[in-house]
Amino acid sequence: MKEKLESLHIGKILYDVDIKDYTTFKVSSKVFALVFPDSLENLIRLLQFLKKEKIKYKVIGNGSNLIFVSDKYEGVIVRLDALSKVEILKDKVVVGAGYSLMRLALELANKGYQGFEFAIGIPGSVGGSLVNNAGAYNSSMAEVVLSAKVLTPDDKVVEYTKEDLKFNYRSSGLQYKNDFICLEVTFKLEKGNIKTIQETIKNRREKRFASQPLEYPSAGSIFRNPEGDFAGRMIEELGFKGKKCGGAEVSQKHANFIINTGKATGKDIQNLILEIKEQVKKEYAIDLVCEQEFVE
């Protein structure tokens, strides 16, 4: 299989990789191959090959919402780092799916564009953030997106409008379309007062460092907030702060964060998440929705 992959000449390929270096939870799981296609054409060639050979695969962004549950992933992980162009036009910016959302937000803020302040603390890629409608501070991708280019399962590149993307709270229609891959996003731009924008960013950074356990590997908020309430409040009231399962722990600083204290496994994190879900449902009759994805 290695020889077949190499013969495709599609970009950099790493074998027997520990995925912990490519996810924010830093949980170990050995992956057969990690592939970085160096162009859209080579991404398509790779996907055609994997489908033809019936090889399990997953396309990922920055790995900020993934929990690899087993210690081995018998398949291929695909990263879109090469899709990272940024083109600023008069009133919009076109950005490749592999670009860091946090980096984009900071660069636009420094150029005096407003509306992206919410994204300063979001560690995902542009593509992954679009799929999950990432957000914070009562704003999200839905507020700034104009359109997106998507690769369909039959290898066609289609442009989706904001309406086509069907954004909802922490989700988009792409979450439910298997094998549809975000390639590029077009955002609207709006000029603002650069001093005010930078002050907002500074204040939010200080608030994040004070209220979130950023000194530990995590995946941000574990659960979506149910309508009219906060997941963290319920989890804290049930006494889960500091609760441990192996190397995974519910943060003492923020109850809706689970942290890796150093040796957490994907199973540790999964078990803790499932226990919290069960207890919240039992106590409050609310079925919390996990923002993370378990990868088997």
36 Cβ neighbours under 8 A, 6+ residues apart: 11, 12, 13, 78, 79, 81, 82
Q: Does 221 qualify as catalytic in the annotation?
A: yes
Of 29, 64, 100, 221, catalytic: 221
CB 33 within 8 A of CB 259: no
CB 222 within 8 A of CB 291: yes
Q: How are beta strands 135-136 and 145-151 bridged, if at all? A: unpaired
Of 117, 184, 249, 291, catalytic: 291
DSSP reduced 3-state for 170: coil
Q: Does 224 qualify as catalytic in the annotation?
A: no
d(CA 203, CA 106): 14
288 Cβ neighbours under 8 A, 6+ residues apart: 223, 224, 226, 231, 234, 276, 277, 280, 281
Q: Does 45 qualify as catalytic in the annotation?
A: no
Dihedral sign for Cα atoms in the order 178, 182, 188, 189: positive
Of 29, 140, 170, 251, catalytic: 170
Phi, psi for 118 (deg, rounded to 5): -60, -25
Closest CA to 43 of 128, 148, 151: 151
For residue 104, count other CB atoms closer than 10 A to its CB.
20
DSSP structure class, residue 214: T
Radius of gyration of the chain (CA): 19
What is the number of alpha carbons within 13 Å of residue 231 lying toward its C-beta? Answer: 22
d(CA 117, CA 102): 9
DSSP structure class, residue 225: P
Q: Which residues are catalytic, by number?
A: 170, 221, 291
